[in-house]
Structure 1
Amino acid sequence: MLLIYIKTLTPRINYTFRQVCSSILGYEVGFTSKIEEFVAHEGMKISYGKQKMGNEFFIQEAGLLNEQGFNDTELKFHEWENTTCFFKVSDKSDVPFDIFSASFYLLSRYEEYLPHVKDSVGRYPYKESIGFKHGFLEQPVVDIWAYKFNTLLKDRFPKENSVKREFNNKNILAVAEAFKFRKKGIVRSIGASIRDFFKLDIANFIERFKVLFYLKKDPYDIYDGLVKESHQNQFKWHFLFQLSNYSIKSKNVSYNKIKYQALIKSMGDYGKIGLLPGYEALYDFSTLKLEKKRWESIVNRPLKLIGSYNYDLNLPTLYNNFDKLEIERDFSMSYAETLGFRAGTCSSYLYYDINFERISPLVLDPIVFNSNCIKYHTFFELKTKMEKIKDEVRKVGGSLNILMNNKDFDNWDKEKKYLNLITYLNEK
């Protein structure tokens, strides 16, 4: 057991030490505020505080984990070997910065609670993040710091062993619009055809005609092909389906369509399935609750997985709403316009609500590749960066999580490059 000496056990200290030391490094963690118990402990131990007591392994605190709420904290950045860190402390500390305050700052998304300007669709801009500004957005720095910290611990306690994690993947398919032309209803189909005609979008007009008269498969109906290819390459998907009312931001087929309900149920035979909330559900609890009820009436089991693909997290309200509805896992922690680790980690972790200083049971699975970013980068840029990111994640035994949209595989027979990239990224 790794014993930590602290003067006061705060929710932040409990949360961060258990994530870094237990979830990432695999140690059983205990806390004590009794010096006698700490001195008598014969195994691995560290002290965390303002002052060093003797010759123990010591990490000097910066103070963030003893605070409540959020303040505009001044951060100073410096290099630690091949990565960047902040909350630098004195030379008395065995780690050159407060690794736990820095980890909490990223995991809790502390900076997103501070005043900031949203982008054009109401999202927290990735360019406002310290990860982007200081060049470590594409590194899982929390995990990298943890592994470096573990190396120092093993030098001091060579007889102790941590549990080594294995590199893994999660592939999530967001289905906001199940079909491009089919099952949209007569009125919508006629209206869209007239619009294409007057806009002189002849290609779309002809394609819709072929699909509706069964001369061609719907471009977004890639599910059978995706399952077949994935099975051949031995990897699986999580499927998130939208069940929103038709609106300006939701163009999906009706959740009442038997064909759509059958699709949702059938994908449950090939992977885990969950809900993709509509735009309105991200901001209104009653709408979210209604969409959850629809999902459960179709699938006939409790909703456990959820994720947002294109819109803002709306922290902390959205995660608190997920929590109220007893949803277990979320796949929303990503940036829609770029690659990277929004929370600085490639490990699953619990959501922490700074407003109430509360550890939630909601598990967050951070996404490094949200396919919304495809339109902002060339395929070569994405492939080159993802190869480097995969190497970083593999070194720390983390999870490489990818969020795609069924629209990304439009033109299935001609465009398989993204599926080939995903296949490569899933290779162990």
Structure 2
Amino acid sequence: MILVYTHKITPRVRYIFKHIFTRILSVEIDFTTKVEEFVAFNGPKLSYTNVALGSEFFIKSTDLLFQQGVSDVEISVSVWEDVPCFFFQGTKSTIPYDIFSASFYLITRYEEHLPHIKDQHGRYTADQSLAYINGFLEKPVVDIWAYKLKKALKERFPDYDYQERTYKYISTIDVDNAFAYKHKSVIRSIGGLLKDLYKFNIFNVIDRLAVRFNLRKDPFNTFQELINLKNTYNVRTIFFFLIGDYTTFDTNVSASKSKFRLLIKDMVDYARVGLHPSYYTMDNIDKLKEEKQRLEGITNMPIFRSRQHYLRFSLPSTYQQLIDLEIKEDYSMGYASHSGFRASTCTPFYFYDLDFEIQTPLKIFPFALMDTTLNDYMKLTPKQSLGKINELKREVKRVNGTFITLFHNESLSNYLRWKGWRRVYESMLKIATS
């Protein structure tokens, strides 16, 4: 155990110290505000306060972890041994930066609580973020800082038994469209056919008719392949099913269709299943509740995992709604337009509610990349995408973090814009598990 002295133990202090020491470094800690208790302690210890008590391992604190609420914070990013960092505290501090305040700022998405411009889907955009502006979006800097802290602690306390955590990989699959053509309503099928005819998409028309008359397998029905690959590479896989009512942005098969319901039931037998709340649930808890109950009715089991459709969430309201509905895990923390680490960490963390200044029971699993980001936004070829995947995996592996990827069942179809992407998924599993 490492003893931490601080002049005031706030919920923020307890939260971020637990994240860095317990979840990233696998080190147990305890706190004290009593100088005499700190001085008398014979084990490894450090102080986190304004002025050092003596010659101890000292990290000079900023005011952020001792405040409440949200206000403008002046930030100047500089470089600490080749790694971007901020909240510089001078050389009298054993660690020259207050990495605890910096980590808290990033993990709580403090900047997303400040006034900002939203995109057409009501989302916070990557190009406004501190990480993007300062070029560290694709680095899990919170974990990197933690390991630099560990190195300094080892130099000061070499006899302490430091544990190592293990690298993990999770493959997540969003099911926005379980089928391209099958099991759609007559009206939607006719409408799609007429649209293809109007645009002279003759090959689409042929495919559509062949699938409808059972002459060809539906191209988006890649679920058996996904399960086979899961078993081959022994990968933890989670399917998030969109089962909301039809809208412009929610175009999956109706949840009333028996074939779709059977598909979901089958996936429960082979993998983990979560809810993919529809587009308009971001600000509508009644709709979110209805969809959760609908999925639970199909699976006959509690649903406690979730990822927002279009990655459409607003802090803190969306997460507060998930908590109210007893969702325990959320996988929405990432950007649609950019790969990387939105919360600057590759370690799952608990959502800290800045409105109420408490750590909540909602665990956030940040993902590093998404297939549509690589293909549609970044315009990368399959080969270039594998290079990007390898880069991000290496960043996570260096700090023994959790590498999480987001693909869709349709990207394994090798159909239309997804030609060549089935190979990308399997190659990614090889890279991620190697």
TM-score strictly above 0.5: yes
Q: Does 1:408 align with 2:434?
A: no
Map 1:216-365; keep pairs closer than 5 Å.
216-365=216-365
Query: How far apart, CA to CA, are the structure 1 residues paired with 2:97 and 2:403?
Result: 27
| Contact 1:79 1:85 (C-alpha < 8 Å) held by counterparts | yes
| Contact 1:235 1:426 (C-alpha < 8 Å) held by counterparts | no
Helix, strand or coil at the partner of 1:42: coil
Q: Name the CA shift for 1:346/1:415 in 2 (closer, same or farther; >3 Å).
A: closer
Aligned to 1:141: 141
| Contact 1:341 1:366 (C-alpha < 8 Å) held by counterparts | yes
Query: How far apart, CA to CA, are the structure 2 residues paired with 1:28 and 1:143?
Result: 17
Q: Does 1:376 align with 2:358?
A: no
**Amino acid across the alignment from 2:426:** N
**Amino acid across the alignment from 1:353:** D
Query: How far apart, CA to CA, are the structure 1 residues paired with 2:167 and 2:311?
Result: 29
Query: How far apart, CA to CA, are the structure 2 residues paired with 1:84 and 1:415?
Result: 34
Q: Does 1:419 align with 2:422?
A: no
Query: How far apart, CA to CA, are the structure 2 residues paired with 1:30 and 1:258?
Result: 54
**Amino acid across the alignment from 2:176:** A
Give the drift of 1:194: 1.8
Deviations 1:45-80 (Å, cap 9, x if unpaired)?
111111111011100001110111111111011111
| Contact 1:46 1:58 (C-alpha < 8 Å) held by counterparts | yes
Query: How far apart, CA to CA, are the structure 2 residues paired with 1:372 and 1:414?
Result: 14
Helix, strand or coil at the partner of 1:268: helix
Query: How far apart, CA to CA, are the structure 2 residues paired with 1:174 and 1:114?
Result: 30
Query: How far apart, CA to CA, are the structure 1 residues paired with 2:77 and 2:404?
Result: 28
Q: Does 1:73 align with 2:86?
A: no
Query: How far apart, CA to CA, are the structure 2 residues paired with 1:404 and 1:323?
Result: 25
Structure 1: gaps spanning 5 or more residues? none
Query: How far apart, CA to CA, are the structure 2 residues paired with 1:338 and 1:215?
Result: 39
Query: How far apart, CA to CA, are the structure 1 residues paired with 2:236 and 2:352?
Result: 29
Q: Identity over the aligned pairs, expressed in percent? A: 39
| Contact 2:393 2:432 (C-alpha < 8 Å) held by counterparts | no
Query: How far apart, CA to CA, are the structure 1 residues paired with 2:384 and 2:63?
Result: 40
**Amino acid across the alignment from 2:432:** N
Worse-superposed segment, 264-273 or 229-238: 229-238
Give the drift of 1:231: 1.8
Give the drift of 1:415: 4.3
Query: How far apart, CA to CA, are the structure 2 residues paired with 1:425 and 1:365?
Result: 20
Give the drift of 1:420: 2.9
Deviations 1:311-343 (Å, cap 9, x if unpaired)?
322111111111111111111001111110000
**Amino acid across the alignment from 1:423:** L
Q: Name the CA shift for 1:114/1:266 in 2 (closer, same or farther; >3 Å).
A: same
Give the drift of 1:309: 4.5
TM score, norm. by length of structure 1: 0.97
Give the drift of 1:205: 1.5
Structure 2: gaps spanning 5 or more residues? none
Give the drift of 1:145: 0.2
Worse-superposed segment, 259-268 or 200-209: 200-209
Map 1:97-246; keep pairs closer than 5 Å.
97-246=97-246
Give the drift of 1:14: 0.6
Q: Segments of 4+ in structure 1 off by > 4 A?
A: 412-415
Deviations 1:363-385 (Å, cap 9, x if unpaired)?
10110012220212213443223
| Contact 2:183 2:257 (C-alpha < 8 Å) held by counterparts | yes
Aligned to 1:25: 25
Give the drift of 1:414: 5.7
| Contact 2:411 2:421 (C-alpha < 8 Å) held by counterparts | no
Worse-superposed segment, 113-122 or 21-30: 113-122
Query: How far apart, CA to CA, are the structure 2 residues paired with 1:329 and 1:169?
Result: 16
RMSD of the TM alignment (CA)?
1.4
Aligned to 2:402: 399
| Contact 1:261 1:298 (C-alpha < 8 Å) held by counterparts | yes
